[in-house]
Each structure stands twice: as C-alpha cells, then as structure tokens.
C-alpha cells in the first residue's frame, strides 16, 4: 500500500489504542491518540447513553481537528445497581476517580450480596466521524459477567479485576489481553466495526487517506 490511512482515536488511553490497532492494522490503518494532537479539545460527555457520548466525542473532535475520529464509550452496568455505574463508569467515585477508588466503591455497594445477584455486563459503543462531523459508522456490543467480592489479577484496566467471565471462572484481570481481545465488549464491537469499515473501504479505497 503506497498511502497511509489514518484515524484518530478520541482518547488519551494507550491501552485502548493498542487493542484497536491490532484489529485495524490489516486494513493498513494507522491509529493515533489525542496525545499526538496538543490542540485537541475536551469534549463534555453529557449524553444520556453510550451512543450519544461516543457520537459527541467523535464528531466534535473530528470537526475541531479536521480528521477522521474514532470514539468509543464503554462502561459497566451492574444489575443490582439498576444499570449503574453505566455511562458514569469512569467517574463512579467522583470527579477525581481512579480505577482503585471506583473498584472500592463498587465492592462497597455490593457488599453482602450473593453471587447470583452480582450479575453485570460491559457495554461498548463505537462511532466513526468524518472530518465534517458526520457519523459514518456505529457498532455496539456487550460482554456478560459477574462482580467478584475481591480483586483478582493485574491485567487490564477499569473494573477488570472484579469482572468475572462465568465460562472461564476468571476475571478479565486474570485472563489477560489475549483472551480479553477475543471475548470482551470492546473486542466484539471492534470486530463488527472493522468488518463494516472494510466493506466501506472496498467501495472507496481512498476514504481514509492521509492528506
């Protein structure tokens, strides 16, 4: 391929970039993060759903940067908490939230609940915007699991040490990136996204060419 296809991932999270880059590499796409764009804006995530937040992050950043922007919004929905923390997963424990403080609060809120009442699922919604701010592609998927009573494993990020996959009897924190890269909410939504993007590029190979 004698040209470079480029997409900006609307996040500073390198781990998310690495997961997606593996899937996009076969399409000859170079995935960048906002770290490479000092002029990037801070998009206010005040949508009422994962889809709304993903669209805001993709479209507003795309118009500002004049680039194709891929954004995803994901989070943990816990049955016993009526779907919380949901779209507030990253700041569950407050504006200064960390993975540790979020996990601590989740454990506190579920304290004493039996295993059968600790059901949860991760959701990931992915949106691609063109430089004019138009949504071109969207995909969404989820991954079912349960919340453990204590942390297990050091892999991943977010709530991964507490999110147990029933079929494996292990958390994402224990399973590691290889398995997570196959079965996670982000992995499934990403694969669907890549399949649709591949189809789109088949019709217009120059769509994402770097200017």
73 catalytic, yes or no? yes
Task: State the pLDDT at residue 14.
Answer: 85
State residue 210's pLDDT score.
Answer: 63
The predicted structure's pLDDT at residue 13: 84
CB 193 within 8 A of CB 137: yes
Confirm or deny that 74 is annotated as ligand binding: yes
Q: Is residue 144 part of a domain?
A: yes
Residue 78 lies in a domain: yes
Residue at 211 is within a domain: no
Q: What per-residue confidence (pLDDT) applies to 177?
A: 84
Is 104 annotated among the ligand-binding residues? no
Asked if residue 31 belongs to a domain, the reply is yes
Quote the pLDDT of residue 97.
96
Strand (E) or helix (H) holding 26: none
Q: Is residue 75 part of a domain?
A: yes
Count structural domains, the chain.
1
Q: What is the mean pLDDT of residues 196-206?
A: 91
pLDDT category, 3, cuts 50, 70, 90?
A: low
Asked if the structure places residue 210 within a domain, the reply is no
109 assigned to a ligand binding site = no
The CATH number that applies at residue 165 is 3.90.950.10
Average pLDDT of the chain, as a whole number: 93
pLDDT above 60 (res 197): yes
The pLDDT, as a whole number, for residue 78 is 98
Answer yes or no: is pLDDT of 146 > 90.
yes
Whole-angstrom Cα distance, residue 168 to residue 160?
14
| Residue numbers of the domain that contains 77 | 5-203
Residue 153 lies in a domain: yes
- Which candidate in 18, 46, 73, 209 is catalytic? 73
pLDDT > 90 in the chain, percent: 78
pLDDT band, residue 1 (cuts 50/70/90): very low
88 is annotated as contributing to ligand binding: no
Q: What is the pLDDT of residues 26-48, one digit of tens each?
A: 898 999 999 999 999 999 989 99
Residues 151-169 as b/e (b if ≥16 CB within 10 A, e otherwise) read bbeebbebbbbbbbbeeee
pLDDT tens digits for 43-98? 998 999 999 999 999 999 999 999 999 999 999 999 999 999 999 999 999 999 99
Cα–Cα distance for residue pair 121/124, rounded to 1 Å:
10
Do the annotations mark residue 142 as ligand-binding? Answer: no
Query: Above pLDDT 70, what percent of the chain?
Result: 98
């Amino acid at each position: 391929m004698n040209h470079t296809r480029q997409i900006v991932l609307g996040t500073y999270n390198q781990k998310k970039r690495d997961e997606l880059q593996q899937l996009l590499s076969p399409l000859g796409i170079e995935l960048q993060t906002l770290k490479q764009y000092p002029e990037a804006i801070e998009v206010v995530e005040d949508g009422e759903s994962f889809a709304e937040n993903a669209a805001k992050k993709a479209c507003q950043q795309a118009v500002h940067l004049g680039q194709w922007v891929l954004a995803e919004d994901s989070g943990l929905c816990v049955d016993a908490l009526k779907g919380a923390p949901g779209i507030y997963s990253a700041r569950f424990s407050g504006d200064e939230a960390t993975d540790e403080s979020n996990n601590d609060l989740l454990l506190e809120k579920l304290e004493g609940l039996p295993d059968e009442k600790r059901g949860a699922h991760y959701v990931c919604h992915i949106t691609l915007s063109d430089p004019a701010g138009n949504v071109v592609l969207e995909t969404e998927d989820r991954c079912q699991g349960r919340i453990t009573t204590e942390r297990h494993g050091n892999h991943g990020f977010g709530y991964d040490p507490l999110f147990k996959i029933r079929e494996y009897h292990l958390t994402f924190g224990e399973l590691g990136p290889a398995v997570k890269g196959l079965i996670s909410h982000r992995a499934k939504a990403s694969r669907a996204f890549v399949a649709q993007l591949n189809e789109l590029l088949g019709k217009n190979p120059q769509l994402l060419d770097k200017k």
